[in-house]
Chain A
Amino acid sequence: MTATIAPAGTPTEMSRSTINMGRVVRVGSLVGAAMVYMSVIGLLATFNRRLLIDPWLSLGYLVLFAAPMFGGLQFTKRVKLEGLEPEPPSVSDLVQAAIAGVVGGLIAALFASLVNAFPDVRSTFPNWSPELVEILTLGLGVGPAFLVLPLISAAVATVAAGSSFLPERTRKAVVAGVLTVVAVSLFQPVVDDFFDWLPAIPDFLYTSTLALSPIAALVVFLIGAAASYFKPERRNGLAKRLGSEDPAVRRRTTITATIVIGVAMIALPQFLGGIINELLVNVGFFALMAIGLNVVIGYAGLLDLGYVAFFAVGAYTTGVLTSPLSPTWTPMLTWWQAFPIVLVMAALAGLFVGTPVLRMRGDYLAIVTLGFGEIVRILLLSDWLSPYFGGAQGLRNIPGIPIFGTEVNVNTPQLMVYMVMAFVLLAAFVSWRLEDSRIGRAWAAMREDEDVAEAVGVDTVKAKLTAFITGAVIASFAGALFAAKVGSVFTNSFEILVSIVILVIVIVGGMGNIPGVLVGAVVLIGILGGPSQPGLLQEFGEYKLLAYGALLVFMMLKRPEGLIPSTRRQRELHQEEFLQDAWLDRTPSAPGPSVAEPHGDDR
């Protein structure tokens, strides 16, 4: 093989000024494919119903033209390498971006004309509708679309690529402005709810279609951009102070941050209306479960795909013990009397699931726990056990949580938020204290290498079972609260999808890191929503699980340590190898087969 490797360290200057047609076509086709994909699965048409800026921009067009935007950014993206100055963007980058945009637009237009030409396919593909054609062609008809769509997409791609000509600070300001506009228009319910006491603000911002008016959009953009532009350069950012070497500084910052967050948490539900509080309660449930699953996956490294089973155990135990309608056996305890029993039941369930899987390989464990999750659901639903758990009828009339003479249930959303928050705090505190405890260190050792851990004296049986039991107990908190909040439990709240969503939260947030998991729960459940709970973006509806799946794949490929990684995890999954690969990719212009593809096994 004639391997020609570009001289190390010297960027190949010449290659940048030419146009790499192969790459352009590849990126362009990907852009087109992304646009067609959004169209064929109906995402575009669904999102198009939500306007962001009143007559101009809908969520549909935003995501549609996000494709050429990211395509265009590919051409000015530079891998940052230590000791090397990244090449400045050049005009040829812009040209490449524009051509890629044209290619993408042409593909989308071609698709639109195909859908238009064969209206019969709609019987099989319900989303390939005339509405879709109209959106794709911007209502201009199929012919003009071949001109307009490539033009717009090329313009978007060029602008995106051209943004790298701006000075860093200006570019950040523009990005911040755009993001603020999108956020303010998307989260209209929150803004509306929050400014209940000052209706002038929402009245100014939003039109009757709940979208921003163009003037409001401009104002919001300017505010966002200005805030970013004139943000004082903080040498001592919060993140920096939290990671400070000086323990006194770290401690002070932590205490201050805790107090600020605590006050905000106590004050916030009072300002918010029913919908947002309901959302917060859902976020709390998922946060609780995610904290629990984080113990099992993040700390102990055991992939549990049937975690929802413990949630079900918590909810059903509470239901049976407290509901006056519980069939066969009706002890009618209060919630607080039932709670300890719920915890014991959950711990037993954890023990029962944990013991048979002790000696299994990591991935067998995943599938067996998934099986356990389904077994629990099927049994709860079956006729066989319906004299105890109500079967398909579920358990109803579960009373709320009596506290200081009032009953916390679905009618008191604000109290419920406090209740859930208290338990989230408790769970977070417990798992935070556990992390560096003796058992926490045993978990970490076991996660890294079970054989070695055993060899140095870690009791892996005990460690695994403790992890399962801790996780189960935390999930049963959520289950008990859930039963009291909803007032009834049915098996369809315990589908396997719940386990998967919790897994996504833990992974997106950052395995092994409590703040990460909490942020993951707030962002994912708050915005996208749970399997059957709506989030802020109700348009996502049926595409929620698609988004969860895509997120999971994306995170695993690009950022396996999560959004807010734990220090230890990040060190484990350090990106050094990826950077090396990126460096090898930097020299694509060398003629012939330049570098032998790095072999997976060599790593």
Chain B
Amino acid sequence: MTATEERPPATEEKRKRERKALRLTWVDLFLWVIRVTAIIVILWGLIGSIQIFASGEGLSAAGWRDLVFSSLAQGAMYGLLALGYSMVYGVLGFINFAHGEVFMSGTLVGFIAANWLFENGVWEANPFLSMFIVLIVAMVTSTLIAVIIERVAYRPLRGAPRLIPLITSIGMSFFVQYTFAGLFGVGFNTYPPAPDVIAGTVNLFGLEVRTTQLTVIIIAILSMIGLWYFVTKTKAGRAMRAVAEDKEIAGLMGINVDRTIVTVFAVGGAMAGVAALMWSLLFRSVNFFTGFIPGIKAFTAAVLGGIGNIGGAMGGGVLLGLFEGVGPLLILGGLGIPGASQLKDAVAFIALVLVLVFRPSGLFGERLGSEDRV
């Protein structure tokens, strides 16, 4: 779009919009049917679950509590991953499909460090130091991979039509995935068992909580605070926000746009590295495909929270974790659908569709640059 293009007078635009709003097409009707059906199904499922719970069958109160906490922990991980999608989308306006692979690279290389520490006895003797080392290794790897991907694949495509970088990132995703499959083999690598210090449960305000899950949540909160400080208080963070708002003007103001974009990818990568440590605490086993599905879900979380919105990404992640952790049992279980937990991924994707049907700008609002607000 050129700057000289004339916009139609505001009144005419407004009238047009009103006319559009009045016209109820069958598409709107269809969308309303989807909305209403979704609400009915959810309510029905909820009532069913409550009945099951009241009759004393199904999951006990303690069972639900564990489920909620494990979902929260997983959601915190999605949130950290979602940050990478959200920030890149906010700045460059495309979905960095390869971000899940950035995360996967952190889990796999972190595994080497963890294994080495375990074999040398540091893992048990010095659990916090070991975790810190694994964290640093994972963060450095993920950051490096993210920056390399940006340099090789995305930088030559600045200003290309929107779908071109998206398709490139899909290609990059598979390339990185199968590179790691070639490097590490396709089998699963299992992290050493969590050190005794965080293996048990801890009593939190009268609630028994698994320590690993609590650790994960604490790490997520700490990283969020760090990120918030970085984005709002530092010069680089301010440059990031300026570039996200308008690349051209930011460039005119003396901000090095390319370097700032690299920073965005690096920060996103570092957060993915933190998420990699969380994954290793929660699930332990990793392979080259570890990043793919969590990546898509994290993108869902970013959309859920409102893309480009950093706080929203975290909130979206936690919500998505709850949806897919508690949702299948709570809603599908309440409807009497067998094998509800098999449908976990489907629930996450349905959540994505519903969010985009109900509220395309996410729950907490989008923050996009001037050229991406379409």
Across the interface, B171 reaches (CB within 8 A) one of A355, A383, A550, A602, namely A550
Main secondary structure of the interface of A (DSSP, over half): helix
What residues of A have a CB within 8 angstroms of the CB of B178 in the complex? 41, 542-543, 545-546, 549
Of A125, A383, A507, A553, the most chain B CB neighbours within 10 A belong to A553
- On chain A, the number of residues with a Cβ less than 8 Å from chain B's Cβ atoms is 61
A374 contacts partner chain B, Cβ-Cβ < 8 Å? yes
List residues of A (303-336) whose CB comes within 8 Å of B's CBs.
303, 305
Q: Which residues on the A side are within 8 Å of B299 (C-beta)?
A: 367
- Identity of the chain A residue whose Cβ is nearest the Cβ of B169 in the assembled complex: A553
Decide if A124 touches B184 in the complex (CB within 8 Å). yes
The contact of B166 among A357, A358, A366, A381, by CB within 8 Å, is: A366
Partner of A356, one of B184, B340, B356: B356
- A500–B174 CB distance below 8 A: yes
Q: Given the complex, which residues of A lie within 8 Å of B181, measured CB to CB?
A: 41, 542, 546
Interface flag for A234 (CB, 8 Å)? no
Q: Does A363 contact B (CB under 8 A)?
A: yes
Q: Is the CB of A305 within 8 A of B170?
A: yes
Task: Please tell me if the beta carbons of B34 and A356 are within 8 angstroms of each other in the complex.
Answer: yes
Asked if B158 CB lies within 8 Å of chain A CBs, one says yes
Chain A residues, CB < 8 A from B257 = 599-601
In the assembled complex, A384 has its CB within 8 A of some CB on chain B: yes
Q: Return the contact of A384 from the options B34, B184, B296, B343 (Cβ within 8 A).
A: B343
Task: Say whether A553 contacts B168, CB under 8 Å.
Answer: yes
Asked whether B163 is an interface residue with its Cβ less than 8 Å from the other chain, the reply is yes
Interface presence of A361 (CB below 8 A): yes
Bound Cα distance from A360 to B353, whole angstroms: 10
Which among A124, A303, A355, A366 is the interface contact of B30 at CB below 8 angstroms?
A355
Cβ of B360 within 8 Å of any chain A Cβ, yes or no, is yes
A552:B350 contact, CB within 8 angstroms = no
CA distance A466 to B370 in the complex (A): 32
Quick check: A363 and B157 within 8 Å, CB to CB?
no
* Least CB separation from A125: chain B residue: B183
Evaluate contact between B167 and A556: CB separation under 8 angstroms: yes
The answer to whether B356 and A384 touch across the interface, beta carbons within 8 angstroms, is no
Take A355-B31, A383-B338, A549-B171 as given contacts and tell me if A601 and B158 are in contact as well, using a CB distance cutoff of 8 Å: yes
Is B350 a contact of A375 with CB atoms below 8 Å? yes
A-contact bits for B317-350, CB 8 A (1 contact / 0 none): 0000000000000000000011110110110011
Report if B352 contacts A (CB, 8 A): yes
B337–A503 touching, CB < 8 Å: no
Whether A64 is near chain B, meaning CB under 8 Å from some CB there, is no
B175 CB to closest chain A CB (Å) equals 3
Partner of A43, one of B174, B182, B356, B357: B182
With a CB–CB cut-off of 8 A, which chain A residues contact B171? 504, 548-554, 556
> Assuming the A-B contacts A358-B27, A542-B186, A545-B177, are A303 and B350 also in contact, with contact meaning beta carbons closer than 8 angstroms in the complex?
no
20 sampled A-B residue pairs with Cβ under 8 A: A40-B183, A41-B182, A124-B112, A356-B34, A356-B357, A361-B374, A363-B94, A363-B162, A363-B163, A367-B352, A370-B296, A371-B349, A382-B339, A549-B170, A549-B171, A549-B175, A549-B177, A553-B172, A553-B175, A602-B159
**What are the 5 A-B residue pairs with the smallest beta carbon separation, nearest first?**
A600-B158, A41-B182, A552-B171, A549-B174, A371-B349
